[in-house]
Structure 1
Amino acid sequence: MNDRKLGIAALALAVVMFWQGWGLEAPFSYEPLGPRAFPLLIAAVMAVCGIVLVVKGGGQSEPNPPGASLRIGAMFLVIVGYALIYQPAGFIIATALMTMLVGRLFGGGWLKPAVCGVLGSVLFFFLFDRVLDVVLPLGVLEAWL
């Protein structure tokens, strides 16, 4: 029954996302799809997944292994922290920090998540901001970039 409950919750969230995303309009057109395409696409994917869970669901889920609930809560806090520091710190610093913390939550040491976080955030920044012209916040690195 847990899968069906999750499916119903996903469908409800997809409806809310679709309703909120439909009203998004940019004051000027800077890309062909506009700002509503991404939330509507995510809402559609979430609705399909919710339907699959409702139709196919019904199995009982296993309890979380020891310590998993704590890691889930920590992941939630990492995501909230990422959202809070994204604009002032900038994409590169916020994403590197978030990647390092997520790497630690999944059992990595400090070195590999740090290297992957810094390299990945720098590469994705230049890919999106400079190559694809998706404006990302520079934050504290504005003077150097």
Structure 2
Amino acid sequence: MYDRLFGSVWLLLCAGLALIAWGFQAPFSYDPVGPRAYPLLLLALIAAGSLWMLCKPSVLQHLLSGRQTLRALLCVGSMLIYAFLFEPLGFIPSTALATAGLGLLFGGRPLPCAISGVLMGGLLYALFDLLLDVPLPLGVFEFLVE
């Protein structure tokens, strides 16, 4: 019963957010598809999952055990923390923390998770900032450019 309620609420949220995203306009755009393609694609995927929950709610009870549900909730929580830390800490430290934390959450050893987190933060920053010209927040490393 709660699966159907959850799925229907998410489906309504997706419809409302799609109406908002449909109106996204950019005064100038270097992207050929414009600013609305990415949110609409994500909303379509979320809506498909919501429809699946409406049609087959009992499947989730068999797929997710208590441990898997906790892991999924921790994963969503870590993404929320990442979003809140993105501006104040900057891209590199917040990405490193999120990557290392998710690695630990899925059973990785601490040292390899920490190393891969730092590498992921640094290499992705170099890719986006230097190669793709996408400005990312530096946060605590702001003093390096001044």
Other structure's SS at 1:121 match: helix
- Residue 59 of structure 1 aligns to a residue whose secondary structure is helix
How far apart, in 1, do the equivalents of 2:30 and 2:139 lie?
22
CA distance in 1, matches of 2:102, 2:140: 22
Please say if 1:18 is aligned against 2:18: yes
Match of 1:24, as an amino acid? F
Equivalent residues of 1:2, 1:59 under 8 A apart: no
Q: State the number of aligned residues.
A: 143
Listed as ranges, the gaps of 5+ residues in structure 1 are none
Structure (1/2) with the larger helix percentage: 2
Further displaced range: 28-37 or 93-102: 28-37
TM-score, normalised to structure 1, is 0.78
Unaligned runs of 5+ in 2: none
* Identity across the alignment (%): 40
Q: 1:69-111 CA distances to partner (integer Å, 9 max, x unpaired)?
A: 3x45543442232111101211111110111122222222211
Q: What residue is the counterpart of 2:130 in the other structure?
A: 130
Which region of structure 1 is more displaced relative to structure 2, 105-114 or 22-31?
22-31
* Higher RCO structure, 1 or 2 (CA under 8 Å, sep 6+): 1
Aligned to 1:88: 88
The question of 1:59 aligning with 2:58 is answered: yes
Query: How well do the aligned residues superpose, as a CA RMSD in angstroms?
Result: 2.7
Distance 1:133 1:17 in 2: 29
Structure 2 distance, partners of 1:143, 1:26, is 31
Q: After TM superposition, list the pairs within 5 Å mapping 1:82-121 onto structure 2.
A: 82-121=82-121
Deviations 1:44-65 (A, max 9, x none): 222233334434x142504633
Partner Cα separation in structure 2 for residue 113 and residue 22 of structure 1: 39
CA distance in 2, matches of 1:12, 1:90: 34
